[in-house]
Structure formats: structure tokens, C-alpha cells
């Protein structure tokens, strides 16, 4: 399974949709995942940042991992985000995730209550001991950049699959030269990462919306396609993700327009902008049944 995951050049950090009452909408979730499979996505990150695992209790979180394994595990690699800023919680969640059949865990470094390099190494060693894992380095969210010295030492652990890296393509190229698998965590850098710096691929947000074109982008050295996608990638991150993604998937009818606070839809001007951006593509390129501007009152905010 570790080799299967390493062969996956496109994995989607899948969105978690909600019903009108704010509960997880499994019917919509299954539609989103089936669309990913149809378009050649090879793996899912379940309950990651995009999937809003941090807004769930553990019961919901682990239910969705188990559902993904049972429904799609024979067709996709299922990577459950069971990391935490609390080592005890990360161990607990990861044990349950593997018991429910996930193929691998995504493990983030402890955030907010940051620790020392020695503490980081011990934290990751404890969770790596439980099974195959991808380490996630996203300094913009955690406030702490995992340095190569730490990753290189952890790479000696038999259960380290690789790194989801948000610190740039040169960092990924450095790891890849040492045989450490890397996936870009930044959609806007993933083309260069894959075709110029030798990364394994991308763990993508935009593939929730454009899975087929992202499949092409990873498979083909196509600078023109990369250039076409860049404005939409920028739009998806003009506010902290996944606010914009949640908005546009509501606008295309892929999900119900329900947000769990503190996430909320982008403003009307931004919604007008994304309609113009999507009109540069064929309707068959994006996930959903149509495209509607939507008024503010059509969105539902739930706690």
C-alpha cells in the first residue's frame, strides 16, 4: 500500500459537504468522490483542512474515514487526517483510523502550542509507529516550518511514506533527490513541482472542482494548461481556504450551500469573479450541474 500511495500523482483533499441541518451529507460526499474516481484521482485525504476535520468531533471524523474506506477503499487510496496538536489525541485518532481500515494517516506537526525539534521528532515517531503516514508541513497554518533535518531523520522510519510540502518546490526537489517522496500542498506550484522539480505529484484543493484538468496537469508537461488554471487557483486562495472552494461548489450545485462556522461564503464581487473564471472553461470541466451567482441569503451558516 505504501508503494500504491507513492505512485499516486493526484490525490484530492476532499471537501466534506453538509445537509441543511449542518450534519455531514454522505449522499453529496459520495457524489463528489465518484466524480473524483471518474476523472482519474488516485487517492483522497479525508477530513483534512479542506475536509474540515478540525470542525468535527472525533465521532464524525472517524465515521467519515470509515465510510470512505468501506465505500471507496477498493478504488482509491484512503489517507485519513488523524493528526493533532495533541500527541495523545493524534495517537488515539490514528489507532482508530487504522482499525477502520484507512491505508495511511496524514500527520501534521503540533500547532499553536508549538514544541521543540526534540518534541517534534518524538511526536512524529509515536504516530509513525502506528502505521504508514504522510507528514504535512504547512507553516502558514501551523506557524512552524518543519526543517529538512527533522524530515531526513524521520525518513529513516519504515512507516514514513513521504511529505505533503507547502514550503516550495526547491524544498521538494531537495527531498526527492534523497529518495523522500513529496507531494505539493500548493496547487499553484504543483505543475512546476511535478514537471521541473521531480515531485511525486500534488495533494490538491482545486481538484475538488476541476479533477479532470488536474489529472491532465499531472500527466502532461503542458505549460499552457497550467497558465489557464492559475487565475482560478489564485481565486480559491484569495481568502483562507476552504471558504472560496465551499462557495464555488455551492454555486455549481455540487453541494448544498451550507457552511460550518467559522467558514463563510466569499462576497458577491468574488462570486461574480469566479463565474467569469469558470466561463473560460467548458462546463464539463468543473464538478456540478450548473452555475449560479447566488445571493447572500441563499447561503446557510451553521455552528
pLDDT in tens, 250-301: 999 999 999 999 999 999 999 999 999 999 999 999 999 999 999 999 999 9
Contacts 24+ apart (CB under 8 A), 277-281: 277/231, 277/232, 277/235, 278/232, 278/248, 278/252, 280/228, 280/231, 281/210, 281/213, 281/228
Determine whether 263 is an active site residue.
no
pLDDT of 198-247, one tens digit each?
999 999 999 999 999 999 999 999 999 999 999 999 999 999 999 999 99
Q: Which pLDDT score, from 0 to 100, does residue 202 have?
A: 98
> How far, in Å, CA of 217 to CA of 20, rounded?
35
pTM of the model: 0.97
Q: Which residue out of 164, 177, 220, 272 is catalytically annotated? A: 164
What fold characterizes domain 2-220?
Answer: TIM Barrel (3.20.20)
Domain boundaries, the chain: 2-220
Determine whether 136 is an active site residue.
yes
pLDDT of 142-178, one tens digit each?
999 999 999 999 999 999 999 999 999 999 999 999 9
Q: Which pLDDT score, from 0 to 100, does residue 1 have?
A: 82
pLDDT higher than 90, residue 79: yes
Distances, alpha carbon 290 to alpha carbons 34, 272, 286, in Å: 18, 15, 9
Q: Which pLDDT score, from 0 to 100, does residue 9 have?
A: 98
Q: Which residue out of 18, 29, 136, 263 is catalytically annotated? A: 136
Amino acid at each position: 500500500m505504501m508503494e500504491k500511495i507513492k505512485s499516486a500523482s493526484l490525490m484530492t483533499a476532499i471537501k466534506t459537504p453538509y445537509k441543511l441541518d449542518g450534519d455531514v451529507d454522505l449522499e453529496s460526499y459520495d457524489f463528489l468522490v465518484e466524480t473524483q474516481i471518474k476523472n482519474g484521482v488516485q487517492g483522497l485525504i479525508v477530513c483534512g483542512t479542506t475536509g474540515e476535520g478540525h470542525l468535527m468531533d472525533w465521532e464524525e471524523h472517524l465515521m467519515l474515514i470509515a465510510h470512505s474506506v468501506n465505500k471507496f477503499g477498493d478504488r482509491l487510496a484512503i489517507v485519513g487526517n488523524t493528526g493533532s496538536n495533541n500527541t495523545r489525541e493524534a495517537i488515539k485518532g490514528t489507532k482508530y483510523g487504522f482499525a477502520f481500515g484507512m491505508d495511511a494517516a496524514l500527520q501534521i506537526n503540533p500547532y499553536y502550542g508549538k514544541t521543540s525539534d526534540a518534541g517534534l521528532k518524538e511526536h512524529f515517531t509515536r504516530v509513525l509507529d502506528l502505521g504508514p503516514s504522510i507528514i504535512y508541513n504547512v507553516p502558514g497554518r501551523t506557524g512552524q516550518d518543519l526543517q529538512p533535518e527533522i524530515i531526513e531523520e524521520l525518513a529513516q522510519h519504515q512507516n514514513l511514506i513521504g511529505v505533503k510540502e507547502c514550503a516550495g518546490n526547491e524544498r521538494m526537489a531537495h527531498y526527492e533527490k534523497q529518495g523522500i517522496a513529496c507531494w505539493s500542498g500548493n496547487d499553484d506550484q504543483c505543475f512546476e513541482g511535478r514537471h521541473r522539480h521531480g515531485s511525486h505529484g500534488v495533494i490538491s484543493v482545486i481538484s475538488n472542482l476541476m479533477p479532470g484538468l488536474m489529472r491532465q496537469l499531472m500527466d502532461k508537461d503542458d505549460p499552457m494548461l497550467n497558465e489557464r488554471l492559475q487565475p482560478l487557483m489564485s481565486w480559491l486562495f484569495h481568502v483562507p481556504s476552504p471558504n472560496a472552494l465551499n462557495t464555488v461548489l455551492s454555486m455549481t450545485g455540487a453541494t448544498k450551500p451550507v457552511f460550518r462556522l467559522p467558514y463563510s461564503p466569499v462576497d458577491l464581487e468574488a462570486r461574480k469573479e469566479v463565474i467569469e473564471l469558470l466561463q473560460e472553461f467548458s462546463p464539463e470541466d468543473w464538478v456540478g450541474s450548473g452555475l449560479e451567482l447566488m445571493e447572500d441569503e441563499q447561503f446557510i451558516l451553521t455552528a
